[in-house]
Structure 1
Amino acid sequence: MTTMISHRDRAVLRAVAAGRCEIAGVCLSIDGVGCCDQFAAMRLAQAGLIAAAGPEPERARLTPSGQALLAAA
């Protein structure tokens, strides 16, 4: 199955890969600022591209599927 993602989602994945993101539940921050796309974290987690987080903020990380998608781009 092919996962279609937007340019914005791809940019978020690159930021996650660079270690610039924190996630708490479905709240994603990039460089300490809340992501303007409030559904990005939920969408990418449901697609299996980033690891789902607990209620406390932690560094967001790519799943193997997310890494493969970025490598293929």
Structure 2
Amino acid sequence: MAMLRAVAAGRATMSGSCEPDLFIDGVACCDQVTAHMLAHAGYLRPSCPGDRVPAELTEAGRAALAVRTVA
């Protein structure tokens, strides 16, 4: 959830590779396995094509945050 919150706050960038790495506040995220899983499951994505671009939440990512916030 912390990764999704960081993306929602505009603090994250992603690499554009097939295994997209996540960077928060300019530093590589320490749990890239979870970052890859979130990207492949469709919770976050790069905002546009490129090497290292802003990350954004998908509809599923926003829904996951909304459910967690309410619960």
- TM-score, scaled to structure 2: 0.80
Provide the aligned length of Structure 1 versus Structure 2: 64
Unaligned runs of 5+ in 2: none
Identify, as 1 or 2, the structure richer in strand. Answer: 2
Q: Report whether the alignment pairs 1:46 with 2:37.
A: no
Task: Extract structure 1 runs of 4+ deviating beyond 3 A.
Answer: 52-55
| Identical amino acids, percent of aligned pairs | 47
- The Cα RMSD (Å) is 1.5
**Aligned positions of 1:15-54 closer than 5 A:** 15-24=6-15, 25=17, 26-52=20-46, 54=49
- Give the TM-score of the pair, scaled to structure 1: 0.78
Q: 1:41 to 1:59 in 2, by over 3 A?
A: same
